[in-house]
Structure formats: structure tokens, C-alpha cells
Amino acid sequence: MTQGQAPSQQSGASAGRLGAVRGSLPSLEETGQGLIEYGLILVVMAFVCVVSLLFFGDQLSTLLSLIASAV
């Protein structure tokens, strides 16, 4: 900062570096979007697991009983 500048004004070089740093960091909106996407993936995976257990639960139980009786 030169003597005649107000504290809120920055020289061109330091403003460019600051802009480059800000440009490389994700904004709060982008971070929140990523968290929501991961949450949706987890919800879909949980739904698929529950539905598959409803359809294949009896067969899985029979298979596990056969394995347990063989041991």
C-alpha cells in the first residue's frame, strides 16, 4: 500500500493475488451443493438396500441357514 492510498484500496498486484486465491476456493453455495449430492446418494443407496431386502430377504435367510447348518 502506498502512502496516498486508503486502507481499503489495494495495489493491482496484491488485488490480483487475492482474486486468484478467492477464485480457487469453493463458495459456500458450492460446498452445500456437494453435501446435498452426497446426502441424496446415501438416501438412494439406503432405499435400494431396503427394497432389495424386502424382495430377497427370504432367499437370503434360507441361504444363510444352509451355510450355518453346513458349518
* pLDDT tens-place string over residues 28-47: 667 778 889 999 999 999 99
Cβ contact 21:12 at 8 Å: no
CA distance linking residue 51 with residue 40, whole number of Å = 17
CB within 8 Å of 60: residues ≥ 6 apart: 53
> Over pLDDT 70: what percentage of the chain?
56
Residue 2 — very low, low, confident or very high, per pLDDT cuts 50/70/90? low
Give the mean model confidence (pLDDT) for residues 58-67.
92
Residue 8 — very low, low, confident or very high, per pLDDT cuts 50/70/90? low
pTM: 0.49
